[in-house]
Amino acid sequence: MNTNNTTTITAPAKFISKLSVQEKINLLMQVWGAMAPQDKFAGMSLSDFRSATAASHDTRENLQLMHATRKGGIAKRIAADKDTAALLVSVAAGVKADPFFGVNSALYRAMGFVPANERKSPSATTHSGTAGAAPTEAAAAPTRSKGRQDLMTRVERFIRAWTKFAPESSFAGQSLAGFTAAVAPSVTLRDERTKDRVSIAGTIAARNIADRTTSKLIQRVIASIKAEADFGPDSSLYRSLGYVTASERRSGKRTKTASAVTPPAANTSAPAVPA
């Protein structure tokens, strides 16, 4: 039973209805612990309420860690992509400069570049030379500017072309195996990013489910405070939760009560986190 119902704390700046779910949890536990730590509401002690709302807090904490991890992964992927893009430029330059291949080779064409002879003769066919003949694999490759192609598309095209036309050759000091290993971080970091997105989406769904349960629980506790004989809709406990008391509604005034005790800054077992 409450032993000090006259103890008050400053009412929050916002009505509780304007707070996020986590802010509501923090406020309710803060006020409950400061003003009625031994009392039960909706059949629950403060400890029971903390346990019942842990899922909302824990999923938010998990989301924070996931977003931080994802942010770090994006930074790593950007750095890896810069290295990969530079390597593509070097390899392409090596193919162009190679006397056996060069700018008119099937390899260069299959890598997605427009050969020099096609640039000089816009009307020239990209087929094998005979009208109506089926195009070769090299001729069938797209000829978009390399700057407009997705980086992974370019990497895959380089590897396919290199594997088909020059598997034993090296360009810009890189063998095919060395090139594949060098661009691997760009590939694997993208795979990890996809997995992170799936994990985050699942955790957000779990948080939303937990929040719905928590919101209903908070409403039950508030209703219990209003119905409790030792507290009720005119109590300082009810007021400290950000509600307008019945007497304030009748008078038309909403005044903040003076702080008689300093409540804990935050619940230590369930620290405040963004919604």
- CA 267-219-11 angle, to 5 degrees, is 55
Judge whether residue 73 has pLDDT over 50: yes
How do residues 132-161 score in pLDDT, each as one tens digit? 333 343 333 444 444 445 899 999 999 999
| Number of residues assigned to the chain | 275
Cα diameter, the chain: 100
Tokens linked to 236 = 């300082």
> Quick one: pLDDT at residue 144?
43
Handedness of CA 125, 129, 134, 137 (dihedral sign): negative
How do residues 225-273 score in pLDDT, each as one tens digit? 999 988 998 899 988 888 888 888 777 665 544 333 333 344 434 444 3
Where helices occur in 142-240 by DSSP H, the ranges are 151-165, 176-227, 236-240
How do residues 166-223 score in pLDDT, each as one tens digit? 999 999 999 999 999 999 999 899 888 888 888 899 999 999 999 999 999 999 999 9
This prediction has a pTM of: 0.59
Closest-CA residue to 92 (of 73, 117, 79, 111): 111
DSSP state of 16: G
Handedness of CA 23, 25, 26, 32 (dihedral sign): positive
